[in-house]
Amino acid sequence: MIVHLLDDEKILSSIINFNIYEIKVDHTFVIYTNKERLESLNKEYHAIPNILFISSIKDIPKELKKIEVTLIAHSLNYWKCKAIYEFRKIKKIAWIFWGADGYNLIAIKKNIYQEITNKKIIRKQKGYFRTKIKHFLFPIYKLYSLYILKSLDYDTILRMTIPKIDYFVTTLPQDYHLFKKYIKEFNSTFIPYIYYSYEEIIAKNLLNKNVEGNGILFGNSSYPTNNHLDGLVKLSKIPLGNKKIYTPLSYGDLTYCEKVIEIGTKLFNDNFKPIKEFMPLNKYTLILQKCPIVIMNHDRQQAVGNIIASLYLGAKVYLSKNNTLYKYLKDLDLIIYSIDFDLNLNNKFALEPLHPSEQLNNRRIVMKVFSKKNKIQLSINLFNTLSK
């Protein structure tokens, strides 16, 4: 039996619908939520068999824990790590990697913040130096957690769980190799996969449309991994004219969000346009359509959906050269630009939109690689591998 471990996230319905109605799988789905949501979710999904909503690991039925299962963890967060230890007969475990569930590991985390962000934000966070020490003394800290504290924090239980993972399922082979390099406990097999197709992340009314306007999309959330401060300072050295900088900040760290707004407003005045409210897909995609320039200053894979949608719409996309996504997209022959080398005052074409032929090239590749047809095939391949 294949059992999916999921969270009550905003994309839950799309995951369920895709697997049950598109792939037509006969799998079990265990979904973690809070107690207040249990009743409404059970009513919403009552017609779909093999869906179980829980608010505690103790809610997983004993019968399910006893039989032989193959587990698929959609993002390997804290409760899923703990749940893995509850199943007695595990055949295989697949980890569908989302990003934060791996990059938050301290061994990788040290490499994803740029100079200003690291100095002004990260080093001032509570527990920063304790986290550093914990990384270097991990074998000792693990024993201390198990036998003295008798509890495990997320980094510790994740590193303990990683050796149990058989398959690392993700879009970017570069992320797989990064884990192999930095996490000595990591010894999984890579399986290619895409979580979103371009048809799912672009509002239907904008399919076959192109970017228009003169906006700049900057970042995707109010997390420090966006390296907003470094990017805004760099961007402030380039004449922008009347271009508006649209900065999505609708989820993440509220304190950090206010800091980004403070710096952005100081540097760009009314041209800085923070987006604090969560928008439905059709409204958000209209923002993307206004932005022929997209700047994502992450030093890790992040905002993949935004980037794929922007490439489809014909935007010129800038990424950090340290981002695994940059290398992956370049290898696909997509026309991508480097923040480090191309976004500067000496490049007079830095904020010029892509030529129509370049837009066509990028759309053609996106439609091939990130199509729903390809997503379905990769999903079937994954399930076939896990069923062997």
Cβ-contact 343, 295 below 8 angstroms: yes
Residues 342-367: pLDDT tens digits? Answer: 999 999 999 999 999 999 999 999 99
What are the pLDDT digits (tens) for 231-259? 999 999 999 999 999 999 999 999 999 99
What topology is assigned to 198-370 in CATH? Answer: Rossmann fold (3.40.50)
Give CA–CA dist 340/337, Å, rounded.
9
Type of residue numbered 260: V
The CATH number, out of the four listed (3.40.50.2000, 3.40.190.150, 3.40.50.300, 3.40.50.1100), of the domain defined by the range 2-114+155-194+373-387: 3.40.50.2000
Identify whether the C-beta of residue 38 lies closer than 8 Å to the C-beta of residue 53.
Answer: yes
Q: What is the pTM of this model?
A: 0.92
Distance between CA atoms of residues 218 and 320, nearest Å: 13
Note the pLDDT tens digit of each residue in 323-343.
Answer: 999 999 999 999 999 999 999
Q: Stretch 68-96: mean pLDDT, rounded?
A: 97
Query: pLDDT value at position 339?
Result: 97
pLDDT at 10: 85
Query: Which H or E run contains 53?
Result: strand 51-54
229 in Cβ contact with 120 (< 8 Å): yes
| Sheet order of strands, 245-248 included | 272-275, 245-248, 216-218, 293-296, 316-319, 337-338
- For 356-360, the CB contacts below 8 A with 24+ separation are 356/314, 359/210, 359/314
- Going by pLDDT thresholds of 50, 70 and 90, the confidence category of residue 129 is low
**According to CATH, where is 3.40.50.2000 located in the chain?**
2-114+155-194+373-387, 198-370
Residue 188 has pLDDT above 90, yes or no: yes
pLDDT of residue 235: 96
pLDDT, tens digit, for every residue of 145-157?
776 766 788 888 9
